Amino acid sequence: MDALVPLIVALTGLPALAVAAWYARGATAHYARGIALRWALVALVLFLGAAGLYWAGGEPTRTTAVVVAMVVAANALAVSLVLHLRRGDRDAGR
């Protein structure tokens, strides 16, 4: 039962990995690679977060530390993705 939550978190990383693979084959090389990289990093954060939750084993202090680290990393990558998308819109107008 202790492995159920980490398994669910790891499974949520699979769609992010699929999106990364989808964008990696994009036509615009630099723009698509940047998006694919960020999605792959989101998947990596989720996989590492799942491993961290499994390591925490339900201990409240460890679990809180892993969840906070995962939320901070995922949100930082989300901001990075939004900034990359905005920069791509600006570069497309040139």
Which tens digits make up the pLDDT trace of 20-48? 999 888 767 777 888 999 999 999 999 99
Q: Which of 82, 4, 9 lies closest to 45 in space, CA to CA?
A: 9
For the four alpha carbons of 6, 7, 12 and 16, in that order, the dihedral sign comes to positive
DSSP letter assigned to residue 28? S
The three-point CA angle 2-63-18 to 5° equals: 75
Other Cβ atoms less than 10 A from the Cβ of 50: the count is 22
Task: Report how far apart, in Å, the C-alpha atoms of 37 and of each of 1, 2, 30 are.
Answer: 33, 31, 10
Query: What is the predicted pLDDT for the residue at 85?
Result: 86
**pTM for this predicted structure:** 0.85
Which tens digits make up the pLDDT trace of 45-87? 999 999 999 999 989 999 999 999 999 999 999 999 999 988 8
